[in-house]
Amino acid sequence: MRLVGLIGDPVEHSLSPEMHNVAMEELGVDGVYVKKQVEREELGDVLKGARLFGFSGLNVTIPYKESVLGFCDELGKEAELARAVNTLDFCSDGVFGYNTDVFGARQSVLEEMKISGSKMTLVGAGGGARACCVAFKEAKQIDVVNRTKQNACELVNDLERDVRADLNALGLEKLEDSLVDSDLLVNATSVGLESPQKSVVDKTFLHKDLVVFDLVYRPPLTKLLRDAEEVGCEVISGVEMLVKQGAKSFKIWLDREPNEDLMRRCVLDELNGGDSW
């Protein structure tokens, strides 16, 4: 039996087991995806135990995406640039670390627009924002906008040597100005998850030529995305990034192509209370 799973703190909200297990079942893979909440002091023992127990790999979520870097024998290019790992592949010759969040963000956007030569406005300065900067590194310009400008400055300073885009750090008061000629808006904060009726962006700042991507996937259509649709924008739900990063991890572990449509329907079914099939 193939064993894979998710570690983090918390993990109870995760829909990864549902979408991975349904994908394995369709392909006839004898396997199971489990999740485990892990305290920081037990992280090392859990990783060693998973290898000894025969796990093929693990997904890693907050707050351990940076912490597991030291457990990897080799890193994928995206993990090196993002300085974060969300997928561990346990191989006979070592532990390989990947960042499929970068892949998920990139592919989600490429289905709607061209990245090269575009201007992007990225709200947030945490791990999601870092992954997006790497994913969109060939853009013409990325404005990193954050309530605490110093955090945006630190992110820009950390990545500017590795990202071809012109990176700018801005305070939240500059958000409206940044969006005037922007092609893509990304919400990489938790606003919309904690308060479903709140948006990180005033609706009046949006324009119809903008593509709006919200990394939040609970609910699938956040207030930001609802506002954007009303203005006439193309929108991308965080469900897309969730599914695409998961499908990439699945292929790394099992060397099989999962059915992304099936995984997406499974996630939406869970989020919508059984109304998506």
Q: Which of 133, 113, 128 has the alpha carbon at shortest distance from 241?
A: 128
Question: Is residue 277 over pLDDT 50?
Answer: no
> Exposed, middle or buried, 171 (CB in 10 Å: 0-12/13-18/19+)?
middle
User: Residues 212, 233: contact at Cβ < 8 Å?
Assistant: yes
Residue 273 pLDDT level (bands cut at 50, 70, 90)? confident
Tell me which fold the domain 103-236 belongs to: Rossmann fold (3.40.50)
Q: What is the mean pLDDT of residues 71-99?
A: 96
Q: How many helices (DSSP H) and strands (DSSP E) are in the chain?
A: 10, 12
Question: Is residue 275 over pLDDT 70?
Answer: no
Per-residue pLDDT tens over the stretch 105-146 = 999 999 999 999 999 999 999 999 999 999 999 999 999 999
- Cα–Cα–Cα angle for 183, 189, 195, rounded to 5 degrees: 115
Question: Is residue 257 over pLDDT 50?
Answer: yes
Predicted confidence at residue 276, as pLDDT, reads: 47
What whole-number distance in Å separates Cα of residue 245 and Cα of residue 250?
A: 9
Where is pLDDT greater, at 77 or 274?
77
Predicted confidence at residue 196, as pLDDT, reads: 80
Per-residue pLDDT tens over the stretch 196-215 = 889 999 999 999 999 999 99
Residue 129 DSSP SS3? helix
For the chain, give every residue range classified as CATH 3.40.50.720.
103-236
Q: Any idea which residues carry the catalytic annotation?
A: 65
Predicted confidence at residue 68, as pLDDT, reads: 97
Question: Is residue 195 over pLDDT 80?
Answer: no
Both tokens assigned to 178? 């940044």
For the chain, give every residue range classified as CATH 3.40.50.10860.
2-98+240-271
Q: What is the mean pLDDT of residues 44-63?
A: 97
Q: At 269, which helix (H) or strand (E)?
A: helix 260-271
CATH of domain 2-98+240-271: 3.40.50.10860
How many CB atoms neighbour CB 73 within 10 A? Answer: 10
Mean per-residue pLDDT of the chain: 96
